Amino acid sequence: MLNRFKTLNVLPRWIIVLIDLTIFSLAALVGYMLRLNFQIDELYEFDFLRGIAIYTIAGLISSLLTRSFAGIIRYTGIQDTLRVLYANLITLAIVFAINSLSENSLPYSVALIAFLVSLVFSISYRLLVKELFAFYRTVPKSQRKVLIMGAGRSGMITKQMIDNDTKSNVKVVGFLEDNPRKIGNVISGVRIYSAKDEFEKVVLKHSPTELILAATKLSLEKKNELVDKCLEFGIKVTSVPSADQWIGGEFDINQIKEVKIEDLLGRNTIILKNKFISKELNDKCILITGAAGSIGSEIVRQVVRYSPSKIVLLDQSETGLFEIENEIRSIKKMGDELVPFVCDVTNRGRLKECFSTYRPNLIFHAAAYKHVPMMETNVPEAIACNILGTRNVADLSVEFEVEKFVMISTDKAVNPTSVMGATKRAAEVYVQSLNDFLVSIDSESTKFITTRFGNVLGSNGSVIPIFKKQIQAGGPITVTHPEITRYFMTIPEACGLVLEAGTMGDGGEIFVFDMGKSVKIVDLAKRMIQLSGLVEGKDIDIVFTGLRPGEKLYEELLDNEESNMATHHPKIMIAQTRKIDFTEVKESVDQMESAVRSGEMIDKDIEIVKILKSMLLEYKSKASKFEALD
C-alpha cells in the first residue's frame, strides 16, 4: 500500500472528472431518494434516470467552465475548495434554467438536495485524499517533536506551517505560555502549558528535541531563562522572525532559524524616540565617513529612511563602498542623491574636494582604525587616521560651515591603555576644544558632538565572529584572560544613538550610553559552545592566551575625572569632562603630525607616543612596550 502511494504521482485529470461526475450522479439519486422518503416504486413516476442525466451533464459543463478538476488533490487548499463550490453553484443554476424551459426535468427540491450532497462529497473526498497522502508520507519516519513558545498569532501560524509541511516530519507536542488565561487550553489538539511551572513536566512527558521561540513580546531575561533550561535538557532552540521580516509578508517554515548568541546578549533593546530626527535630516546633504564599515554602513541604512537631499558615502575601501551602494539602491530607488566617494580622511586635498563639491549640512564621522593590538604596532597609521583624519574633517567642517559634526568614539577612549584608545580620546579632545574655541569667539559655526559606546555585535573583527570560526574549525576557542569582560550592544541600537545625538546635541557634548551589564568573555565562549550542540572540554576546548598589548580587563564609560549629567532619555547621559585649551591641543596635534611625517626619526613610535601621553595624562599603557614611558 505504501509503495503505491510513493510511486503514484498525480492523478490524470480525466480520472478526477470521472470521480466528480460519479458524485454528481449519486447526489441526484440521493436527492430523489430523500425527496420520495426512499419510496423506490415512485422513482419511475419522476423519470429519475432522465433527471440524473440532466444533473450529471450540468455538472460536466460546470466542471469544464470552472476547471475544478485542475488542482492537485494532495495539495487541496482554499482556492481549490472555492472552485468546487463555484462548479456546484453553476450546476444548480443550469438545472434551474432547464426546469424553467421544460416541465419533465429535475424537480427544484431534488436539485437543491443534490447540490448540497455533491458539494459535501466533492470537497470531502479531496480533503480525505490530502490527509491520506500526508499520513502515508510520514508513517515510516520517526517524528521529531517540538514545543512552541507562544500561543499567539505567530505561534499558531508556525504550527500551521509545520502541519502543512509534509517533508519536515515534525510534530508539535505542546505550546508554552506565560499568559495564565491561555494556560490549560487546547489549540488544534495541542495543549498549552505554563512556561514557568510546567516546562520540566512537558519535557519529561514528550521528550521534545526542539523549542521554537514564536512569542513576539518575549523579554531578553525570559529568552535567556528558556535557553538555559533547553541547554540543560539538550533541546535545540530556534526562533521565528518578527512579522516585519516575513518574506513578502508571508511566513515560511524555512525562516525558522537557530538562536544565535547575539540574540541573548546585552539587554532589552533601548528604543530611541526623537520626533526631531526627521526634521534634522530631511532634505539635507549628509556626509558619512567610514561609510563602508560596520557602524558607518548602518548609519547609511538609517539615514536613508529620512529622505535627505543627498547622502555622500566616503570611505577608502572601494569594495565596501560598492557593496553598501548596491544594497541601498536595491531597497530604495535613488539616483544622484546617493554618492559613493572614494577617499582617505588623511588626504586633506581629496577631502576638501568632497566638501567643496557637495557642501554637506551634517557629518557623521565613523572613519577610524579600531583594532587594539594592530594599532599598538602601527602607531603612525593610528595617529594619521584617528587624530589627523578627524582634524581634517573637523577643520573642513568649520571652513565649509557644516551645521553639525557627530563623531563616533569608543569606551576604549576612557582611561586609555592602548594607542587605539588614546588616539580616539585625542580625537574627542580635539573636536571638543575646537567647539569650545568657536563658542568663545561667538562663532555660530559647526556644532561638534561626540558619542561613546562599547563593543557592537557583529562588527568587523569583534569577538563573536572569531569564536564562530574557531568553533567551525573544531577549536580551540582562544580567550585572552578568564576575568576579561566587555559591554555589548547591537549595531542598529548604536547607530540609533548616533542619530539621536545628532539631533539633541548643542555642541561640545560627549554622549554616553547606559550599556547595562558587562559580559564575561569566557562565559560568552561557553554559551556559544552549548548553542552549537558541543560540550566544552570534550568536543572543544577553551584556551587562555594572556592579555594582548594595550588590552584592558574591564571597559569603562567614564574616566576618573569625569561625571555624567542626565538628558531627556533615561539611558543617555552627557559626560562632564575636563576642558583643555584649543591652543594646547592644536600644538600637540601639530607635533604628532611632524613626527608622523618625519622619515628620519629613530624610534618614531616611542617619540609619537610620548607626545600623546603628554597630551593625555590619563593614558597609561598596559601589556605594552610603551609602559616604560609611564
3-state per-residue secondary structure call for 426-442: HHHHHHHHHHHHHHHCC
In whole angstroms, how far apart are CA 7 and each of 3, 69, 133? 6, 21, 12
- Between the CA of residue 155 and those of 2, 148, 180, 231, 244, what are the distances in Å? 33, 7, 16, 21, 15
Cβ atoms of residues 404 and 363 within 8 Å: yes
Q: SS3 breakdown of the chain: % helix, strand, coil, rounded to 5?
A: 50, 15, 35
Contact 346, 387 (CB under 8 A): no
Dist. CA 429–CA 412, nearest whole Å: 14
Three-state SS at 598: coil
HSE-CB for 401 with a 13 A CA cutoff: 2
For residues 387 and 350, the answer to whether their CB atoms sit within 8 Å is: no
SS3 595: helix
For residue 546, the SS3 value is: coil
Give 244-251's long-range contacts (Cβ < 8 A, gap of 24+): 251/154, 251/157, 251/158, 251/161
Active site residue 613: no
Q: Which of 335, 329, 282 is nearest to 309 (CA)?
A: 282
- Cell numbers of 567, please? 538628558
- Identify the H or E element spanning 117: helix 108-138
Q: Which residue among the candidates 130, 284, 412, 552 is catalytic per the annotation? A: 412
Cell of 28: 441526484
Q: How far is CA 408 from its chain centroid?
A: 23
HEC assignment per residue over 324-361: HHHHHHHHCCCCCCEEEEECCCCCHHHHHHHHHHHCCC
User: Position of cell 501560524?
Assistant: 157
**What is the distance between the alpha carbons of residues 213 and 158, in angstroms, rounded to a whole number?**
10
Q: Would you say 149 and 214 are in contact if contact means Cβ atoms under 8 Å apart?
A: yes
Could you give the residue numbers annotated as active site? 412
